[in-house]
Amino acid sequence: MEILLTGGTGMIGRALCAPLLAAGHRLTVLSRRPEQVEVLCGEGVQALVRLADWEPERHFDAVINLAGAPIVDRPWTAARRRVLWESRVTLTEELVAAIGRARTKPAVLLSGSAIGFYGDQGEAVCSDAQVESPLGHGMDFGGRLCAAWEAAARHAEGFGVRVCLLRTGLVLARQGGFYARLHLPFSLGLGTRLGHGRQWMSWIHIEDYVGAVLALLRDDTLRGAYNLTAPQPARNAAFTVALAASLHRPAFFVAPACLIRLGLGQRAYFLLGGQKVLPQRLEAAGFTFRHAVLAEALAALAR
């Protein structure tokens, strides 16, 4: 297949490129750093600098849309919110417009989203059968961002494109993201529970994320929203103990919620809130997880 990938130079995108190339697909990566594309994504991967450069005659069989500015790194000032919005919602709108201009449309668009779509859900189980966020108009910025990102992608259905939305949980990978950030402090025995520690963390091992994307790409009966999370979410306290144990270290510390709120403002929700998300539609589609159990997934990463 000819595949166009946005966000292909990112942590998840790079993990996807190797198996896609190994399966014989040809990749083009939309990137603001075209000179880095072959280095980061693999030999023979082409770069596309602007969507406007996608000529209508150029055919892609599939589009995978993962671009997005990092969400937790910086305070959500008005300027930062604009960057977060434009790099996801506006970029997806432009991508769908380019799909509309293409003479032959791709068969499928797999488009990013996140479990932040559900907002802070406490003990409620978040099912991907839900099309609308349970918080409705009460959604926070993260929820609104995901809802608009999904809605922009769904417009491709109007061009006869099969659309799958990747409601992604915390991706655990050595190469970056949440796990890589926690690795050093936990390795030093500085593992820390966040607040009361009862908040749910819905995680997925990077190998299962890649496997799920390949399954959604292959099976043309699958469409709509999919929770990309392992079947056993963990509470923060259990996650903290499991991560420390996987690195053979204790985890004695507790970060008080008030200090986290003081330091992170609105973004504190990522650490103190959470959602218990289950991959009901992936499992119903017959997907089996290689890393369904947290202790085993963390042990595999620590090896």
Ligand X SMILES: NC(=O)c1ccc[n+]([C@@H]2O[C@H](COP(=O)([O-])OP(=O)(O)OC[C@H]3O[C@@H](n4cnc5c(N)ncnc54)[C@H](OP(=O)(O)O)[C@@H]3O)[C@@H](O)[C@H]2O)c1
The reply to whether 295 sits near ligand X by the rule CB under 6 A is no
Task: Report the C-alpha gap between 97 and 72 in whole angstroms.
Answer: 29
Place of tokens 């990522």: 270
Instruction: Considering only the stretches 132-140, 176-184, 186-194, 259-267, report the one whose residues sit in contact with ligand X under the rule CB under 6 A.
Output: 176-184
37: amino acid identity, one letter: V
> Maximum Cα–Cα distance for the chain, whole Å?
60
Q: Which of 187, 179, 279, 185 is nearest to 239 (CA)?
A: 179
Q: Which of 5, 114, 241, 278 binds ligand X (CB under 6 A)?
A: 114
The reply to whether 171 sits near ligand X by the rule CB under 6 A is yes
Residue 11 CB, nearest distance to ligand X (Å)? 4
CA–CA distance from 242 to each of 120, 154, 236, 247 (Å)? 23, 38, 10, 9
Q: Which of 1, 51, 83, 299 binds ligand X (CB under 6 A)?
A: 83
The reply to whether 51 sits near ligand X by the rule CB under 6 A is no
Asked whether the beta carbons of 302 and 249 are under 8 A apart, the reply is no
Q: Which of 16, 41, 68, 163 binds ligand X (CB under 6 A)?
A: 68
The reply to whether 216 sits near ligand X by the rule CB under 6 A is no
199 phi, psi to nearest 5 deg: -65, 145
Count of chain residues binding ligand X (CB under 6 A)? 26
Instruction: Considering only the stretches 49-57, 164-172, 246-254, 264-272, report the one whose residues sit in contact with ligand X under the rule CB under 6 A.
Output: 164-172
Binding site for ligand X (CB under 6 A): 7, 9-13, 31-33, 66-71, 83, 87, 91, 112, 114, 168, 170-171, 176-178
